Structure formats: C-alpha cells, structure tokens
Amino acid sequence: MVSAGDFRNGLTVEIEGNVFQIIEFQHVKPGKGAAFVRTKLKNIINGGVVEKTFRPTEKFPTAHIDRRDMQYLYNDGDLYNFMDPESYEQISIAKDVVGDAMKFVKENENCKINSYNGSVFAVEPPLFVELEITETEPGFKGDTATGASKPATVETGAQVNVPLFVNQGDKIKIDTRTGEYLSRV
C-alpha cells in the first residue's frame, strides 16, 4: 500500500479497480483548509488520462506490471504469436490488444509484452527498427530545396515518408514510436 502523500512519477497504483500510472503529481497546501495531492493519471489498460485529487493520507495498493522480453514469431490471422526465448513458452495475443504496435516489426524480433495479473494489455515494439524499402517512386533532381519527402512501403507493408534520395532496396532506420524515417543504414 502506498499513500497519496508518497506518490511519485511512474508509480503504478490500483484505484477503484483500475490500474493507473502516475504521470504528474503536485502536493498543494492552500492557505485555508487541508493539504491535498493533485495528480494526472494514465489508465494502463485503455490509455485514457484523468486528473484526480486525493487527501495525502489516502492509501492505494501498488500494481505490479510484468514486462517480459518475447520474440515475435508470426501473425496467424487475428492472432500474433510470441515466444519466451528462455523457456520457449509460446503465447498468442489478439489483434485488438496489439493494435498498431507491430506495424514495423519483422518476424524473429524481440518485443516487450506488458501484463497485469496474467492478462496481456500491451505490446511494446523495439524503439528503432531497420527495414528495407520494397516500393517507392524515384526522386527527381532539383526537388531538394524544400526538403521534400515521398511515400515508401517497407518490407512489413507499412507506409513511411522518406527523403527523395532514398531508393527502392535501401535499408532505413525507423522510430517505431512516431513512425518517422531516421536515417539510411
């Protein structure tokens, strides 16, 4: 149990049956009345952000989030299959839980599987991936004054905007959080 007076950023707590991570907190001591803690909380399961205030003496159970490194094996329709590289245990995760997280991930790459009380709620891809461009139009000379970009399809099927000098067959580095091109490899 942790009291609201001991809140800190990144702490995960269970409040009213939901699991929240503390994004921001502030201890407020007004001139009149009792002190309170103003917080901004992110619901870990659905991603929603709420603001709540608590008395500093209120207590909440801490929520332990399990983050395991697992290897992405393959996609089987609506299921994504992962394997623990140490125990070789395999799990399948539904497409709606995974969301867009696997858009830039190739087979056999490692991801982090986040679960709470045994149920998986999120998949974190690696921060940066290196993928090959499978389809893009050639750039034209002289179009570089504006720092223009063009759409390209990578080997996982995802679309990325790349600079005009990048050609089909080039390997590029992508930030999976934003989906942006970083550099050629």
Q: Per-residue pLDDT tens for 117-155?
A: 888 888 888 999 999 999 988 876 665 566 778 889 999
**Structure confidence at residue 46 (pLDDT):** 78
Rounded-to-integer distance, Cα 54 and Cα 40, Å: 11
Shared domain for 6 and 43, answered yes or no, is yes
**Structure confidence at residue 83 (pLDDT):** 93
Residue 40 has pLDDT above 60, yes or no: yes
Structure tokens at 91: 């799990």
Q: What percent of the chain has pLDDT over 90?
A: 32
Shared domain for 31 and 77, answered yes or no, is no
Task: Please give the backbone phi and psi of residue 58, each rounded to the nearest 5 degrees, phi first.
Answer: -65, 140
Q: Which pTM does this prediction carry?
A: 0.72
Task: Please identify, among 60, 89, 108, the residue that sits at the C-terminal boundary of a domain.
Answer: 60
Shared domain for 54 and 79, answered yes or no, is no
Q: Which residues contact 51 (CB under 8 A, 6 or more apart)?
A: 38, 39, 40, 41
Number of domains in the chain: 3
167, 136 in Cβ contact below 8 A? yes
Q: Is the dihedral of CA 91, 94, 97, 102 positive or negative?
A: positive
Kindly report the CATH number assigned to the domain that includes residue 12.
Answer: 2.30.30.30
Shared domain for 120 and 132, answered yes or no, is no
Q: Per-residue pLDDT tens for 67-108?
A: 899 999 998 888 999 999 999 999 998 888 887 888 888 889
Kindly report the CATH number assigned to the domain that includes residue 114.
Answer: 2.40.50.140
Task: Please identify, among 124, 141, 158, the residue that sits at the C-terminal boundary of a domain.
Answer: 124
Shared domain for 118 and 137, answered yes or no, is no
Task: Please identify, among 60, 89, 104, the residue that sits at the C-terminal boundary of a domain.
Answer: 60
Burial of 169 per CB tally in 10 Å (0-12, 13-18, 19+):
exposed
Shared domain for 6 and 56, answered yes or no, is yes
Rounded-to-integer distance, Cα 160 and Cα 134, Å: 11
Shared domain for 7 and 29, answered yes or no, is yes
Residue type, 62: T
Q: If you average pLDDT over every residue of the chain, what do you get?
A: 87
Domain residues for 20? 2-60
